[in-house]
Each structure stands twice: as structure tokens, then as C-alpha cells.
Structure 1
Amino acid sequence: MSYLDLAERFIAAHFPKASIAVIGGSTSRAERTASSDIDLLLIGDDLLDTDQSGMATCREFEGEIFEVFAYTPGGFQEWAERSIAQYRPVIVHMLVEGLAVRSGEALDELRETWREALAVGPSVDAHEFAFRRYVITDVLDDLRDASDPLEQRVLASTLFERTAELMLLRAGKWIGTGKYLPRRLRELGEDRIGALTTAFLQGRVTPLADAVEAELSAAGGRVQAGFVR
């Protein structure tokens, strides 16, 4: 199946005023699985029927599920800046790295602008780093004290996620959610992440806590008393 042709038919049927259209995710990388949908970024003047500047919606079309992110030019600018500020620029990655369905000079200019923003990496101030260390310190103490297996499992998952984010941000890397967090974490290399990931995968509480403690120390240490959020 040509997903470019399929996407164009979908756009013509549902979002004909889109001037920019980009397929992202596994479809753009030729890594689809049995449950993959088609992530589609759309930008255009008068793209939406309401006064909204952006919309996320899920549609079925010709037997495929489309996960649509539709924006006016101003709406994309707003949401892209917001995602950059949150260190998870999903739609920016879609724009820059995805497979163009509808392109032209406007897409080329947008890609150049946001490619530079992605290359710079996240800008994280000292207070944000301190807040993240504060959260990790709190969850880490809870994990060391926990005796209930279910509590341990939930706390370990939270702690892994927060620590992985801290490691990525300290390395000047963007973070992600769900399956994208471990994918980004692996970019740091096995030597860097091995202690954390091995302990987490094996469900070993003490080695995981020790690995997190080491990351906290490398990031400046524990944060508790006196911290103002």
C-alpha cells in the first residue's frame, strides 16, 4: 500500500484546505506493526471549521486509523513552542523528520526553522533541575521504604521514568513519553544507562534505588528541606 496516496485521499476527504501535510511515527520510518496507526500532521489557513487554532482527532479511513494533529499556522507555532518548553516536542519532530504528503516552500521554511530549534536541545534552568531532583528524592525514599510488592512496582516505574528524563535533560536531549522515552534513553548508550535499565528490567529494588541515587548525586544531590516549588 502507498501510504502517501492513502493519506492524500484522506486529506482530500476530510481536510482539503491543508497546505502542509506530513506523515510521522512508524509509518514514516517504515516500521509499522500490526496495531500501528498513521500519525498525520496538518497545517493550513482555514483548516478547521471552528475558531480553534488546533485539534487532535482520531479518524478511520479505508480500514486504517489516522491520528490527526491539525493546526492553523499560528496554532502550530503556539503548540510547537509549548512542546519545546515542556521538553517533548512531538509535533516538531513530526514536522522535521516526517514524510511529506503536501509540501512546498512553506514546509521547507518551517522545517529549517524548527530543525535549528531541535538541534539546540532543551533549555532547562537550575530551578527545573532542582524540582526534578526533589521529585526523585521523594519517590526514591518511598521505594526504599516500601514492602508491598505492588507499591514497589508502581514506585519503580515512576522512579525509572523520572530518572530517565533527568539523565536525558542533563545530556541536552529531548525527552519522550511511553515507548519514546526508552528509545531516547538508549541514545545515551548502554554504558551510560546499563545500571538503571538492568535493575529496572530485573525488578530489583535495591540496585535500582542505588542507580537512581548515583544519578541524583551526579546531578547535584538530593533535594528536600528548604526547596520551594
Structure 2
Amino acid sequence: MLWREILDARFPDALGGLVAGSTARGEDTASSDVDLIVLLSGRPAPMRRTERVRGRLVEFFVHTEASFVEFVDRERQSRRSPLLHMCAHGLIVCDHDQRLARLQGLARDRWSAGPAPLSVGELDDRRYRLTALLADLDDLADEVDPIDRTALAAAVFTEVADLALVSRGRWSGAGRWLGRRLRDTDADLGRNLASGVRAAVLGDATMLVTCGRAELDRLGGPLDAGYERRA
């Protein structure tokens, strides 16, 4: 197995290794990146390294058991954890003493449990932020600069999608993973947001504003005057 050969060559003392992403799902192509989680007993973990191996870009996520848990706990605060997702859904290629299997079991339990719910203060922050973005979008109704329209439309898409996910107890993501998670959770909203962004960039923000206001209404309505946040 290619990934076992790479693991043995780069980290001969590894306690275990796991391949993640499209490679683990059997959906990779010749141009796909390869994500490898490597479990060590100590140094040089924790570290992250990217190499080109046999024409493929390989990212090594190198951890001890303790550093893996520490990094995941840090990521979970943002309600998205790529490392947790990789471990939970990856394919173990070697595991000398079942440590990686136990770690994967922990990752699967944590992933299934979902992120921490939004606190009242966090929800107010999100409502306030989205309310302000939608107001800006209305203000730009006659804006001719495509850069401004595109930047604001992208910001609204991200804010609405992230809020829709975390308020439903679902993990969020970045880039294409934000879109994938939204599609899995509320495909109609995802399609409407995508259509709304395209229309807003061309000058019609109606659909995008409607999507944003619907999410706000679901979560208590817009929030501007009366908002207060103390340090």
C-alpha cells in the first residue's frame, strides 16, 4: 500500500497512521491531495508538513495522543474541527498497539456529539453581525462597483451558512466544506444562498437578503438597537 510505504519511509517509529479525505473514501484522483495523520510517542510531534511524493501533494498531520486531543479541543471552540473530522472518517493504514483505533473511537464519538451549542451572548453577536451585513447589502442596492458587491455577498453567504449550521447543532466548515456541510443540513438554503450570491453580484440582492432575514427570524429576529456586549 502506497501510503503505508510513505509512512514507513518518513516516520519509521510511528505508532500508527491514518489516511483521510478523498483517498480514504476511494474517490481520489491523480491530482488529489493526500492527508495523513501520523501518531508518534513524542518529538517531532506535534507538527504539520507538506511534501510532494511520487507526484502527489501529501500533508502530514503529526501528533501524540495528548497533542491530538489538545489541538482538537482548540479547534472545537470555533465549532469546526478538520482534524477531528479527518480522524473520525479516515482509514487506518497501520496501528501497532491499537492506540490509533482508540483515538479514532474518541474522534467519532465527539464528531457525532456535534459542537457546543451557542450561548445567548454568542447568538446575539451572530444576529447583530448578520443584521448589520444585511443592512449594508440594502445600502449597496445601487452600488455599481462589482468588487464591493462581491465582497459583501460573500460575507453574507458565509455568515448565514455558518449560523444555519451551528444554530442547528451541526459542525461548520471553511471553503468548500462550508458548502458541503450546508448542503447536507439544508440543501434548499444552500441552493438559495448560492443563487442569491450570483444575483447580488449582478446587482439584485433580493434573494440573498431574504435568506438572511429568514435565518434571523428563525433565531429571534434582527438585532441592532438594544444590542450590548461587555468585555
Regarding TM over 0.5, the answer is: yes
For residue 123 of structure 2, what is the amino acid of its counterpart? F
2:141 is the counterpart of 1:144: no
User: Structure 1: which 5+ runs fail to align?
Assistant: none
Q: Which moved more, 1:178-187 or 1:101-110?
A: 101-110
Task: Provide the residue aligned with 1:120 in structure 2.
Answer: 113
1:76 to 55, 68, 74: 68
Mapped contact 1:17–1:44 kept (Cα < 8 A)? yes
- Aligned: 1:175 with 2:168: no
**Counterpart of 2:181?**
184
Q: In structure 2, what is the Cα distance between the partners aligned to 1:149 and 1:16? A: 53
Q: Which amino acid aligns with 1:92?
A: L
1:133 alignment counterpart: 127
Q: How many residues align?
A: 221
1:95 aligns with 2:96: no
On the 8 A contact 1:17/1:47 being kept in 2, the answer is no
Give the counterpart letter for 2:130 in structure 1.
Answer: I
Q: Residues 193, 38 of structure 1: CA spacing in aligned structure 2 closer, same or farther, 3 A cutoff?
A: closer
User: 1:187 aligns to what SS in structure 2?
Assistant: helix
Q: Post-superposition shift, 1:131?
A: 1.4
* Structural mapping, 1:1-229, within 5 Å: 5-48=1-44, 53-103=45-95, 104-123=97-116, 124-146=118-140, 147=143, 148-203=145-200, 204-225=204-225, 226-228=227-229
Distance 1:150 1:33, change over 3 A: farther
In 2, the alpha carbon distance for the partners of 1:167 and 1:29 equals: 27
The residue type paired with residue 222 of structure 1 is P
Deviation of the 1:201 alpha carbon: 3.9
1:152 touches 1:205 (CA, 8 Å); kept in 2? no
Aligned residues of 2:31 and 2:56 also touching (Cα < 8 A):
no
Runs of 4+ with >4 A deviation: none
In structure 2, the CA distance between the partners of 1:223 and 1:16, relative to structure 1 (3 Å rule), is farther
Distance in 2 (alpha carbons) for counterparts of 1:192 and 1:68: 35
Structure 2: gaps spanning 5 or more residues? none
Look up the equivalent residue of 1:16 and give its one-letter code.
P
Q: Secondary structure at the match of 1:164?
A: helix
| Contact 1:20/1:107 (8 A) holds in 2 | yes
Range that drifts further, 130-139 or 85-94: 130-139
Q: Contact 1:18–1:47 at 8 Å: present in 2 too?
A: no
d(CA) in 1 for partners of 2:4, 2:169: 36
Could you report, residue by residue, the CA deviation over 1:84-125 in whole angstroms, capped at 9, with x for unpaired residues? 221111111111111111125212221222211111111122
Q: Secondary structure at the match of 1:129?
A: helix
Instruction: Pick which of 216-225 and 148-157 moved more.
Output: 216-225
**Structural RMSD (CA):** 1.8
Amino acid at match of 1:139: L
Contact 1:15/1:47 (CA < 8 Å) preserved in 2? no
**Which deviates further from its counterpart, 160-169 or 202-211?**
202-211
Deviation at residue 55 of structure 1 after TM alignment: 1.4
C-alpha offsets along residues 37-62 of structure 1, whole Å, 9 cap, x if unaligned?
101111211241xxxx5212211122
Give the letter for the 2:112 counterpart. A
- Structure 2 length-normalised TM: 0.88
TM-score (norm 1): 0.89
